[in-house]
Structure formats: C-alpha cells, structure tokens
C-alpha cells in the first residue's frame, strides 16, 4: 500500500505543478505535465482514480501528511488509533473531518513558529505581501552561480534568520520539486518552493542574482529574481493566488528593474511592498 500512497503523492505534485503553470501564465511545460498526469492516473486502480478525481475537483489537495498529530489540511486533531493506522500503511485512511487521504512522514522541514508569534505580539496586523515576508528575508545580492547553489543559499538564510529549522533538508525538498518541472518562468523570474512545511504560515524570501543563473526555465533566459516560498499544507490553494499576484506584478520590466537596482535588504523590502500593493491583497 505504501507504493500506492507514494504514487498518489506524486500524482498530486504533478497536478499542483500544472496549476502553478497556469497561475504563473507559463505554458512551456503543460503538454509534458498533462501527459505525465494521464500516465500516472491510468496506472491507479479504477476506484482510486475515481476517489482522486472527486477530491481534486473540490480543491488542490487529495492526500495530505499528518503534522503534529493533526490533519495538515483541516487541522483536526486525530485520534491515536487513526495515526497508528495511517503509519502502518495497510490501506488508505482518510481524515474523519475533511475526508482527505492521510499519510505519515518523519522527514520534513518545519517552520520556527516562535519567530512569527513574537512579531505578531509586537506589531500591528500586516497587509499585502507583508503578511508573508519580512525585511530579514530579502537577499539583494545572491553569491551562488547556479540553480542548486541559489536554492541552498536562500534556504540556509531562512534558517539563519530563524524562519525554518533545517536549511539542508529544505534545500533537498526544493530540489526534488525542481526535478518535477522547473519553477522558472518568463522575464527572468523563478518561484522555487516546498509544500508541507508546517509550524507557521506561508513564508516568502526574495533573492536577486545580479548576473543571472540557468534555472531550467523556458528558452535560454537567465533567472535573476527568485521568490522562494515555504508553504504549509493548508495554504496550498492560497499559494497559487500569491504566485499569480507576483507574476502579474513583475511582468513589467520597470518593476523588475526596480528590484534589481536595490542594494540593501531594507531597500529591497520597501520596493517589494510597494510594487505588490495592487496585485497582492
């Protein structure tokens, strides 16, 4: 049964990757993704195919991990008997509340919730992009010269600033996601990310590569502006809206040039907030 569970997780990742292509207005990999989704779907038992179709018609998530003894999608506290049954993987088990299939994982990066909780107590409510990021997460001059190094640099920066607990594991998960299909899109933008990072809210870091790197995206365009996001399972649907808002804001050349011109984290932060004010609510 573990093989079926892994199969469902992979199918869901492909389905989400396709939704990301739509949200970022990129069509470069749609045929490839559609073919892979169809192949994986046809390899499932008919009953499981029907179940996945019903769940994915309701939203982007059909199978979700248990996180801190809760369903990571709806937040319901799960009875110990359910957790043990899911862990045994003898058959598919669903959340009693939301009906999503559950699976158990022990190796996943987590957010450091004490950091965000401290900020909320000290500051007024945030709006727009300020809800998802902070000046400490801005990197105006990335030093790495390739995709993997860029991702590792951002992940370890997030750990250094106490937003996540394990930069190495986060890097590994982000590169696994890149292996499905590149998160680079037109205009030198890329949106690497990791889903299932529990313990806090959706969190975004922004890094600028002055020379640009080959990220594996469409054509030969070098990637210079990298938005890296860690996404709790429950925020997977909203992440697509955020991705769409960022794509809309930075389709414009003058907006991208403004980000590229900033030399300090504080300047990059102010530019990001200003440039996304109308596209991210």
pLDDT in tens, 162-212: 999 999 999 999 999 999 999 999 899 999 999 999 999 999 999 999 999
Q: How far apart are CA 26 and CA 18, in angstroms?
A: 10
105 C-beta neighbours (distance < 10 Å), count: 12
Q: Are both 146 and 84 inside the same structural domain?
A: no
The DSSP bridge pattern shows strands 70-71 and 63-67 to be: antiparallel
Q: Are both 206 and 71 inside the same structural domain?
A: no
Tokens coding 28:
């470069």
Q: Are both 146 and 255 inside the same structural domain?
A: yes
CATH code, 233 = 3.40.930.10
Q: Are both 40 and 142 inside the same structural domain?
A: no
Q: How far apart are CA 35 and CA 153, in angstroms?
A: 33
Q: Are both 63 and 124 inside the same structural domain?
A: no
Contact 11, 41 (CB under 8 A): yes
Within a domain: residue 281? no
Of the candidate ranges 56-65, 154-163, 199-208, 254-263, the one whose mean pLDDT is the lowest: 56-65
Among residues 53, 75, 103, which one ends one of the domains? 103
Check residue 59 and give its pLDDT.
87
Check residue 74 and give its pLDDT.
95
Q: How far apart are CA 172 and CA 197, in angstroms?
A: 13
Among residues 57, 72, 103, which one ends one of the domains? 103
Q: Using the predicted structure, report yes or no on whether residue 63 has a pLDDT greater than 80.
A: yes
CATH code, 17 = 1.10.287.1490
Between helix 236-249 and helix 2-23 the angle, nearest 10°, is 30
Within a domain: residue 280? no
Q: Residue 204: which H helix or E strand, with range? A: strand 203-213
Q: How far is CA 2 from CA 6, 7, 9, 29, 88, in A?
A: 6, 8, 11, 29, 9
Name the average pLDDT for the chain.
Answer: 92
Q: What is the DSSP letter of 212?
A: E
Greater model confidence, 229 or 106: 229
Within a domain: residue 36? yes
Within a domain: residue 30? yes
Contact 103, 49 (CB under 8 A): no
Instruction: Give the count of domains, the chain.
Output: 2
Q: Are both 50 and 177 inside the same structural domain?
A: no
Among residues 80, 103, 126, which one ends one of the domains? 103
Q: Are both 17 and 81 inside the same structural domain?
A: yes
pTM: 0.90
Q: How far apart are CA 22 and CA 16, in angstroms?
A: 10
Which of 42-56, 124-138, 149-163 is most confident? 149-163
Q: How far apart are CA 209 and CA 148, in angstroms?
A: 13
Within a domain: residue 108? no
Tell me the residue range of the domain where 84 lies: 2-103
């Amino acid at each position: 049964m573990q093989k079926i569970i892994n199969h469902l997780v992979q199918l869901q990742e492909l389905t989400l990757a396709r939704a990301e292509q739509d949200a970022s207005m990129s069509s470069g990999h749609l045929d490839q993704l559609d073919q892979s989704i169809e192949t994986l779907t046809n390899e499932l038992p008919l009953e499981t195919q029907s179940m996945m179709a019903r769940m994915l018609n309701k939203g982007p998530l059909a199978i979700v991990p248990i996180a801190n003894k809760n369903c990571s999608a709806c937040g319901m506290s799960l009875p110990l008997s359910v957790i043990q049954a899911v862990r045994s993987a003898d058959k598919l088990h669903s959340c009693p509340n939301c009906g999503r299939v559950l699976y158990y994982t022990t190796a996943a990066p987590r957010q450091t919730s004490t950091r965000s909780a401290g900020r909320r107590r000290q500051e007024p409510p945030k709006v727009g992009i300020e809800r998802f990021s902070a000046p400490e997460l801005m990197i105006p001059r990335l030093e790495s010269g390739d995709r993997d190094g860029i991702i590792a640099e951002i992940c370890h920066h997030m750990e250094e600033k106490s937003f996540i607990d394990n930069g190495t594991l986060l890097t590994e998960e982000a590169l696994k996601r890149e292996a499905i299909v590149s998160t680079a899109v037109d205009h030198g933008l890329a949106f690497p990310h990791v889903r299932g990072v529990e313990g806090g809210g959706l969190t975004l870091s922004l890094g600028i590569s002055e020379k640009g790197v080959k990220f594996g995206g469409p054509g030969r365009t070098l990637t210079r502006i990298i938005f890296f996001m860690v996404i709790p399972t429950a925020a997977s649907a909203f992440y697509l809206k955020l991705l769409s808002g960022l794509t809309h804001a930075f389709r414009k050349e003058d907006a991208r040039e403004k980000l590229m011109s900033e030399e300090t984290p504080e300047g990059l932060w102010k530019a990001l907030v200003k440039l996304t004010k109308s596209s991210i609510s």
